[in-house]
Structure 1
Amino acid sequence: MGLAEFIVQDMDGIIAEWEAFAATQLPGAAGMTALALRDHAPAILKAIAGDLATGQTRWEQSEKSKGRAPTEHGAPETAAQTHAVLRARNGFDIIQLVAEYRALRASVLRRWLDAVPLDRHGLGEVIRFNEALDQAVAESVAHFQDQVETSRNLLLAMLGHDMRTPLSNVLMTAHYLSQLQAGDAVAAAAGRLLRSGVSLRALIDDLSTFGRTSLGLGLDLARAELDLGAAVLDEVDQLRGAHPNRRIELEISGDTHGHWDGPRLQQLLRNLVSNALRYGASDTPVRVELRGEHDPVLLQVTNTGATLDAAAFGALFGPLQRGPALPDSEDSRDSLGLGLYIVREVAQAHGGDVAVQADGGLTTFSVHLPRRAPDARGS
Structure 2
Amino acid sequence: MQIAEFLEAASEAILDESVAYARTIHPLKDQEDSVLRDHLPKILTAISADLRRDQSRKEGIDKSHGKGFPSAGTDGSAAESHGRKRALSGLRIEHVVAEYRALRSCVLRLWSDVAPATPDSLRDVGRFNEAVDQALAESVRVYSMEVDRWQQIYLGVLGHDVRGPLNAIALTAEIFAARISQDLQRPTATLLRSTRRMTSLIDSLMEYNRANLAGGMVIRRLPIDLAAACHEEIEIQRAALPDTAIVFETLGGNHGEFDASRIREAVANLISNAVKYGVPGEPVTVRLAGENKLVRLTVENASVNDIPADELEQLFDPLRSTLPHRSGKERSLGLGLFVVRQIVKVHEGEVTGKSAGKRVTFTITLPRFTVEPSPLFPS
What TM-score do you get using the length of structure 1 for normalisation? 0.85
Which residue is 1:198 aligned to? 196
After TM superposition, give the deviation of residue 67 of structure 1 in Å. 3.8
> In the alignment, does 2:253 pair up with 1:260?
no
Which residue is 1:98 aligned to? 97
Which residue is 1:345 aligned to? 342
Following the alignment from structure 2 to structure 1, what is the Cα–Cα distance between the partners of residues 23 and 149? 26
Query: Do the aligned residues in 2 keep the contact of 1:67 with 1:136 (CA within 8 Å)?
Result: no
Which residue is 1:144 aligned to? 143
> In the alignment, does 2:114 pair up with 1:115?
yes
Query: Do the aligned residues in 2 keep the contact of 1:257 with 1:371 (CA within 8 Å)?
Result: yes
Comparing 206-215 and 65-74, the one that deviates more? 65-74
Aligned mate of 2:298, from 297, 300, 304: 300
Following the alignment from structure 2 to structure 1, what is the Cα–Cα distance between the partners of residues 84 and 313? 32
Equivalent residue letter for 1:282:
P
Count of aligned positions: 372
SS of match in other structure, 2:80: helix
> In the alignment, does 2:8 pair up with 1:2?
no
Equivalent residue letter for 1:46:
T
Which residue is 1:22 aligned to? 22
Per-residue displacement from partner, 1:219-264 (whole Å, max 9, x unpaired)?
Answer: 21133454545543443444345445x3142436576655432321
After TM superposition, give the deviation of residue 44 of structure 1 in Å. 0.8
RMSD: 3.1
What TM-score do you get using the length of structure 2 for normalisation? 0.85
SS of match in other structure, 1:300: strand
Q: Which runs of 5+ in 1 are unaligned?
A: none
Following the alignment from structure 1 to structure 2, what is the Cα–Cα distance between the partners of residues 65 and 357? 37
Comparing 246-255 and 48-57, the one that deviates more? 246-255
Comparing 47-56 and 131-140, the one that deviates more? 47-56
After TM superposition, give the deviation of residue 13 of structure 1 in Å. 1.5
Per-residue displacement from partner, 1:12-45 (whole Å, max 9, x unpaired)?
Answer: 121111111112222x325422211110111111
SS of match in other structure, 2:351: strand
SS of match in other structure, 1:179: helix
Which residue is 1:361 aligned to? 358
- Aligned ranges for residues 1-80 of structure 1 at < 5 Å? 1-26=1-26, 28-71=27-70, 76-80=75-79
SS of match in other structure, 2:106: helix
Following the alignment from structure 2 to structure 1, what is the Cα–Cα distance between the partners of residues 324 and 187? 27
After TM superposition, give the deviation of residue 212 of structure 1 in Å. 2.1
SS of match in other structure, 2:360: strand
After TM superposition, give the deviation of residue 207 of structure 1 in Å. 1.6
After TM superposition, give the deviation of residue 87 of structure 1 in Å. 0.5
Equivalent residue letter for 2:165:
P
Which residue is 2:132 aligned to? 133
Following the alignment from structure 2 to structure 1, what is the Cα–Cα distance between the partners of residues 291 and 57? 63
Equivalent residue letter for 1:359:
A
After TM superposition, give the deviation of residue 126 of structure 1 in Å. 2.2
Mark the CA change 1:84 to 1:270 in structure 2 (over 3 Å): closer, same or farther.
Answer: same
Query: Do the aligned residues in 2 keep the contact of 1:65 with 1:130 (CA within 8 Å)?
Result: no
After TM superposition, give the deviation of residue 275 of structure 1 in Å. 1.0
SS of match in other structure, 2:46: helix
Query: Do the aligned residues in 2 keep the contact of 1:225 with 1:259 (CA within 8 Å)?
Result: yes
SS of match in other structure, 1:120: coil
Which residue is 1:84 aligned to? 83
Following the alignment from structure 2 to structure 1, what is the Cα–Cα distance between the partners of residues 289 and 98? 59
Following the alignment from structure 1 to structure 2, what is the Cα–Cα distance between the partners of residues 165 and 334? 26
